[in-house]
Amino acid sequence: MTSFASRLIAGARQIGPLCVGIDPHPGRIPDLFGGDTPDGLAAWGEAVVAAAADRACVVKPQVGLFERHGPEGMRALQHVCEASKDAGLLVIADAKRGDIGTTAKGYAAAYLSDAAPFPSDAVTVNPYMGLDTLEPFIEQAEANGKGVVVLARTSNPGSADFQARDLEGAPLYARVVEALAPAIARLKGSEDWSSLMLVAGATGPDEARRLRQLAPDALFLVPGYGAQGGGAEDALAGFKSVGNRLEGGVVNASRSVTFPAGSDTAASKAEWRVLIEAAIEAAQADLSVHTGQARVAPA
């Protein structure tokens, strides 16, 4: 069974380090797809998946923006996850789950089990209730070749409220990553990368470099690139040199590639898709230039 880390790093090497975030923000779904309705979210999300196929190796649906529509919104998420798998894309479910005992087991089964209703390759989790809350996710990852993406240093402005607070001589985010060392080693794959991934925001490049020192084998999921203001150089600050290139994870872009200029007024789905494909290609090329990676654009 190939590990999540091996699948992700192989895809990033082949196509580039861009992760396409599928975030159906209220009022942003074009009427071409049905607008801000469950059917609209499903149709738009599946269209984003089709545009991302062969242009990115991974997508990241934002669970909360589907969940706001209730059961039908979660059905739309299910369709997007299934379409992504059919298109050969890896799926990181951005759910930021974190709870204890059987509740955590339920969340882990929902996204990482063989029979998961929202089939995903990895899921984001919040570690701040303690290491025991991560165990059910790690168990599912071990059993099924999946990944666990742990919040370390996030990209939002309020991240410093707690994550940067001093805890016995080091910031809290550093103490969290230190505590994760056994789990990182436990999920280490054949490519020398671990399937325990860390969130390291593009808005904190110095912190990302520190995280890389603390966790040399952990892949990074880097939010904050594009619409949140992070540039490619900052987004890749936590990557490391491997041969003549940089690697070490994927960089997420959401609004900048799914809502580019003109996409809200496109006259047809074909016109809309041209704009989305161009935005994905531009972001992928920008990141690949900085990683030293040669890319061949899809036909």
CATH number for the domain harbouring residue 277: 3.20.20.70
If one counts the domains in the chain, the total is 1
Range of the domain at 197: 4-291
Residues near 282 by Cβ (< 8 Å), separated by ≥ 6? none
pLDDT at 228: 63
> In the predicted model, is pLDDT for residue 79 greater than 60?
yes
Instruction: Tell me if 240 is assigned to some domain.
Output: yes
Strand, helix or coil for residue 152: strand
CA distance 141 to 121: 9
pLDDT at 156: 85
Q: What is the mean pLDDT of residues 283-287?
A: 95
pLDDT at 253: 96
Which residue has better confidence, 245 or 93? 93
Q: Where residue 109 falls among pLDDT bands split at 50, 70, 90?
A: very high
Instruction: Tell me if 180 is assigned to some domain.
Output: yes
Chain position carrying tokens 């701040």: 128
> In the predicted model, is pLDDT for residue 298 greater than 80?
no
Instruction: Tell me if 298 is assigned to some domain.
Output: no
pLDDT at 154: 87
Average pLDDT, the chain: 94
Instruction: Tell me if 54 is assigned to some domain.
Output: yes
Strand, helix or coil for residue 148: strand
pLDDT at 37: 98
> In the predicted model, is pLDDT for residue 299 greater than 70?
no
Q: Where residue 227 falls among pLDDT bands split at 50, 70, 90?
A: low
Instruction: Tell me if 297 is assigned to some domain.
Output: no
Cα-based distances in Å from 292 to 47, 86, 287: 30, 30, 9
CA distance 283 to 19: 10
CA distance 45 to 23: 9
- Is 85 part of the annotated catalytic residue set? no
> In the predicted model, is pLDDT for residue 175 greater than 60?
yes
Instruction: Tell me if 265 is assigned to some domain.
Output: yes
What is the value of pTM for the model shown?
A: 0.95
Query: Which position among 60, 85, 96, 146 bears the catalytic label?
Result: 96
Instruction: Tell me if 296 is assigned to some domain.
Output: no
Instruction: Tell me if 299 is assigned to some domain.
Output: no
> In the predicted model, is pLDDT for residue 219 greater than 60?
yes
How big is the chain, counted in residues?
Answer: 299
- Contact between 172 and 165 (Cβ < 8 Å): yes
> In the predicted model, is pLDDT for residue 295 greater than 60?
no
> In the predicted model, is pLDDT for residue 47 greater than 70?
yes
